[in-house]
Amino acid sequence: MASAAAATSHQAPPTRPPPPYLFGRPWPELNEGLSYTDVIRCAHACPSLIDFYSSNYMSSAPREGWIQRIRNGQITIDGVVVRDPSSVLRDGSRVVYHRIPWKEPQAPHLLPVLYEDDDMIAINKPSGLQVLPGGLFQQRTVLMQLQWKDWNNTTSCCSKRKAHPVPVHRLGRGTSGILLCAKTKIAKVRLASYFAEGTANGTVERDEPEFHKARRISKFYRALVTGVLEKDEVEINQPIGLVHYPGVAHGLYVASSSGKPAMSKVCVLERDLEKSQTLVQVEIYSGRPHQIRIHLASIGHPLLGDSLYETGGQPKFCESEHTNGCFAEDGY
């Protein structure tokens, strides 16, 4: 009895809950906003504040929108708020655009954990949740939930390494599935090298059995596509590159003969002749942005409900979402 009492007098070391379990905090109504910094470099005459922003960041807002932002006090020069759009900049000036907090679109916040150890965690990412910050989603991301969680309380007593949770690959916001995240810097480097190795090997000619033997990570997806595929298996070798697209600052990835090599293997799982749909499994040997959507569209079978890519792997044209008069509060 004495020994039992002594054992319970010491606080037990924290233990992680066994998978599967859920974690995640509800999203705040508004995010914290963003700050974008530029250092001015001009060999001759330096531009005015409005000329600098309207010429360099016209994809974010037209000239009138930047004038509104300046007059709202959202721009600082060397730490001082400047409200005069015609203020002339100097070489070496540090200008910062303070993007005001905004309400991000709805996104799931609970993340199911499928596997966890001291080095990594496997999450079942829900559809509708972005992995990394970008566009309108700066806070409502997997990365933010990983940073909010106190991983040190779920690390075994044998490990003294500081948790460093970060996704080591990406899944599209609309894609659900397993997402691997590293909890230590060492794990991040090792896992990232495995994904990079697979991408490099997947863009060259290969012997199929030896290629699969060499890979440490394989990526499989299930997708519902329009139309009925005739062949049971299709291998797609379609390069993917960037093109200019309305409303997308850095361009949009599309099927392009001048793009980077990309390879996918499609296997038919089920054909629905009545609805003219096919359920397929897609294995990707490379990891280009929007690869599955572009590749399936390129062979004439876009994802069911895909509002962006059409047959041929090209984007559908859409009008820019920007409208005059709303750029001071839009969060773009």
Render pLDDT for 250-268 as a digit per residue (tens, 0 to 9): 789 999 999 999 999 999 9
Phi/psi at 208 (5° precision): -55, -55
Q: What is the mean pLDDT of residues 196-213?
A: 58
Q: Which domains does the chain have, with CATH numbers?
A: 34-99 (3.10.290.10), 111-214 (3.30.2350.10), 220-315 (3.30.2350.10)
pLDDT at 79 over 90: yes
Render pLDDT for 150-164 as a digit per residue (tens, 0 to 9): 876 655 545 555 666
Q: Which residue has the higher pLDDT, 214 or 98?
A: 98
Degrees, nearest 5: CA angle 174-249-238: 60
Write down the pLDDT at residue 318.
52
Write down the pLDDT at residue 228.
97
pLDDT at 165 over 90: no
Q: What is the Cα–Cα distance from 116 to 187, expressed in whole angstroms? A: 13
The residues pairing with 18 across neighbouring beta strands, listed in sequence order, are: none
State pTM to two decimals.
0.78
Q: What is the mean pLDDT of residues 278-298?
A: 93
Dihedral angle, C-alpha 271, 276, 279, 285, nearest 10 °: 110
105 closest CA partner among 64, 68, 67, 138: 138
Write down the pLDDT at residue 214.
59
Tokens found for residue 283: 């294995």
Alpha-helix residue ranges (DSSP H) falling in 80-165: 142-148
Q: What is the mean pLDDT of residues 41-59?
A: 93
Count Cβ atoms below 10 Å from residue 52 Cβ, excluding itself: 21
- In the DSSP assignment, the letter for residue 6 is H
Q: Is residue 287 very low, low, confident or very high in pLDDT (cuts 50, 70, 90)?
A: confident
Count Cβ atoms below 10 Å from residue 95 Cβ, excluding itself: 19
Q: What is the Cα–Cα distance from 45 to 47, expressed in whole angstroms? A: 7
Q: Is residue 245 very low, low, confident or very high in pLDDT (cuts 50, 70, 90)?
A: confident
Q: Is residue 319 very low, low, confident or very high in pLDDT (cuts 50, 70, 90)?
A: very low
Q: Is residue 202 very low, low, confident or very high in pLDDT (cuts 50, 70, 90)?
A: low
Q: Is residue 123 very low, low, confident or very high in pLDDT (cuts 50, 70, 90)?
A: very high
Using CA atoms, how far residue 279 sits from 222, 275, 325, in Å, is 7, 11, 45
The residues pairing with 241 across neighbouring beta strands, listed in sequence order, are: 254
Distance of CA 94 to the CA centre of its chain: 29
